[in-house]
Amino acid sequence: MPAKKKPAAKKKPAAKKKPAAKKKPAAKKKPAAKKKPAAKKKPAAKKKPAAKKKPTAPPTAEKAHAAAAPVETPAAPPKLAPGDDAPDFALPADDGSTVSLSGLRGKRVVLYFYPKDDTPGCTVQACEFRDRQEAFAGKNAVVLGVSRDDADSHERFREKWNLNFPLLIDADASVHRAYGAWGLKSNYGKTFEGVLRTTVVVDEAGKVLSYAGSVKAEGNAESVLKSL
């Protein structure tokens, strides 16, 4: 008998292919940044229209004369000289009395003009005259302080510093002017009219014995005393 054919060997099933790895989804692209809108240009400032020039009025005859006239400067204060007649006066004093030059005939009169009560320089000057009253009396001399301050100011000044001589009130500066104690001054570059610290000595007959303008407050009393 013919030999039986062996059954064909069973083919092994083909190995299953592994499924392909899933591709990762592509990363989403970030949206492009939006461009900022360009800044709007500010409109150019409108130029102000040029101010119209006012028509120049023709100068009047009065203005034309004023422009042509030279500027007048105040006259220099008169300076009294030894031997001149001292201008007479009658002024109220701090105690309510009236003092006149003619009423002091027979005595020497020291008349000193100062700017302001109770200011540093004027206080020094007044106190030096105060401290030398006996010496002046020994020379037959009376001391009179003169300023434009009123009676109340004079009284406070006298009481505060125990002044022992009269303070006279020359409110309108008329006596200052007569004695050359009023004129132009300068301070901090400005020029103005005001009191010029001045000391005049009048003799027993009413004549000018000595005249000193623009004196220094300190030492004035001693200087006058030595000249008597």
Helical axes 120-131 vs 220-227, angle rounded to 10°? 40
Q: How far apart are CA 62 and CA 75, in angstroms?
A: 25
Q: How far apart are CA 19 and CA 4, in angstroms?
A: 43
* 122 among known catalytic residues: yes
- 91, 99, 122, 144: the active-site residue: 122
Q: What is the DSSP letter of 103?
A: G
- DSSP letters for 158-223: HHHHT--S-EEE-TT-HHHHHTT-EEEEEETTEEEEEE--EEEEE-TTSBEEEEE-S--STTHHHH
Closest to 175 (Cα-Cα) out of 144, 136, 153: 144
Pairing of strands 141-147, 108-113: parallel
Find out whether 47 and 147 touch, Cβ atoms under 8 Å: no
Known catalytic residues are 122
